[in-house]
Chains A and B, each alone.
Chain A
């Protein structure tokens, strides 16, 4: 009887150990996976974030800074992706710029993974896929799907209440790991605060004129299909909104001004603590909606969900939603076109900040061809042009 009990006990323990092993392997695999990116042959330099502030050296958030300098005087634009790693069009749009860009006047700086830590795990309890992939002519390009905030493996414990520095604004405890609640950062703070401080140093030291932070939002959220702009950028932002809405996009791109009392976000703090004008772009991502159905890579990439669509029929959403959904190419195309239009309009308003570039597909080209043709095969590219995020 005792032997039988022991056999069942240790047999079950062995099964549980196998489950732990499988789960542990899957968690570890996502944690250590690095995304290859084939940089354009026109790139000038790839720096590390710690080159601007060594407080992030040796941490997981010491990301790559891709710099494209034409050598011709003009403006400087910084593009930021993955501030919230669960909003994947930012990293896809940034990769599209990095792999194809040729700047002919001014400079463009691209930061693909603002919050690398947050991209190494997914949100607990949400059943997110660990990766998402894009079909290309040479195979699948693969990225990590992340959480909204940094991993607790890199910054823990959280405070009871997160008090934003330097404003003193009280925010939710987990926002201490949210890179879009920690700007302008704190040099001796926790990892996310130091990361934002290092990025602010990058903006200040590089003399950046404009920043654009790519985001996505659930359709139940009012800040949707919109650019949020600092007051310094009000004129350019309004013009960009009108031009894209009337000439290019089927769904309007509205504009809103950054609230002066809401702190920690790029559109507020970058403008306040540097010479740069700050923009934040939002596009609809049905996978973030609370009422969504099965949460998988198919939903993430197609943007089609019958429950979200049903809510749209009843007028419960802030964005149109039909059987066509919000496919990834449309979401990426909106971000890429918004960046292009901001640089174009800003150059007319500020003639000393002109930026011109080639190699980036238009909104219509991305809709027609998908995103795949604009990513390159790292296995056949020269080794000195392959970097990892």
Chain B
């Protein structure tokens, strides 16, 4: 169980940055398209 906690920590942190970047690109695209 403990070994997988290290993997979860990496997935959570890098995943958060990745998902945030994708959301940001999508939101920016959506706002510009509306304008």
Partners in one complex: no
| Residues of A participating in the B interface, judged by any CB pair closer than 8 Å | none
| Residues of B participating in the A interface, judged by any CB pair closer than 8 Å | none
